[in-house]
């Protein structure tokens, strides 16, 4: 059993390319920030910008004129 486990470990290490050694893991706060908070803030920010640029504008109250309307 020990030889099989050793062989599997050696194969796993040799199958990786150079530079693919896993780094340090993320904490719970970092995971929340990177994968929930940041995308949510970006989505809301982009949504507000798009709405501000394309939203309905208030039309100024104008008096009905014979020149500009047809009855």
Does pLDDT of 12 surpass 70?
A: no
Please say whether the beta carbons of 43 and 35 come within 8 A.
no
| Mean pLDDT for all residues in the chain | 81
Does pLDDT of 1 surpass 90?
A: no
Tell me phi and psi for residue 40, to 5 degrees. -65, -45
Does pLDDT of 65 surpass 80?
A: no
Does pLDDT of 14 surpass 70?
A: no
Question: CA nearest 26: which of 18, 34, 38?
Answer: 34
Tell me phi and psi for residue 13, to 5 degrees. -70, -35
CA angle, 58 then 63 then 66, to 5°: 130
Of 18 and 39, which is predicted with more confidence? 39
pLDDT at 27: 96
């Amino acid at each position: 059993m020990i030889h099989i486990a050793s062989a599997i470990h050696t194969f796993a290490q040799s199958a990786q390319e150079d530079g693919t050694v896993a780094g340090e893991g993320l904490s719970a706060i970092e995971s929340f920030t990177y994968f929930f908070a940041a995308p949510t803030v970006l989505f809301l920010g982009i949504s507000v910008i798009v709405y501000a640029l394309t939203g309905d504008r208030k039309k100024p109250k104008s008096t009905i004129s014979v020149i500009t309307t047809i009855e």
